[in-house]
Amino acid sequence: MNQGAIPDESPRNLLEQLLLQDALAGNGKGIQGGANNMLGDTPRLVAIYGGSPEHWYKMTSIQAFTIYGASVQVHWFRNSQTQENVECKFKRQYPKIAPKNL
């Protein structure tokens, strides 16, 4: 398990930069976290960034762009008390290609 802070991932292109800006401007939604659905990363987040465990949430961007064939979303952690956003990363999902009939 990674014990330290995970640095933010930098956007690779303009579309990823726009997606990141939109997400961090408040256009994201919580996908896990809080008192009833604690994150596995909660102890690490509290140790590094502070706050109470029930205030940490994993977030995802509402929008997803298709960039070079991949569906791209932003994921990050947010402290709901301080509104601090940390450890932003891009989740790129490439479509599965069906095997060719031989």
Residue 16 is assigned to a structural domain of this protein: no
pTM of this structure: 0.86
Spatial distance between the Cα atoms of 28 and 49, rounded to a whole number of angstroms? 20
Kindly state the tokens that stand for 99.
Answer: 């095997």
Domain count, the chain: 1
Residue 46 is assigned to a structural domain of this protein: yes
CA dihedral 31, 61, 5, 51 (to 10 degrees): -60
What range defines the domain where residue 52 resides? 27-93
Residue 68 is assigned to a structural domain of this protein: yes
Residue 18 is assigned to a structural domain of this protein: no
Q: List the pLDDT tens digit at each of the 102 positions of the chain.
A: 557 899 999 999 999 999 999 998 988 999 999 888 889 999 999 999 999 999 999 999 998 999 888 999 999 999 999 999 999 999 999 988 766 665
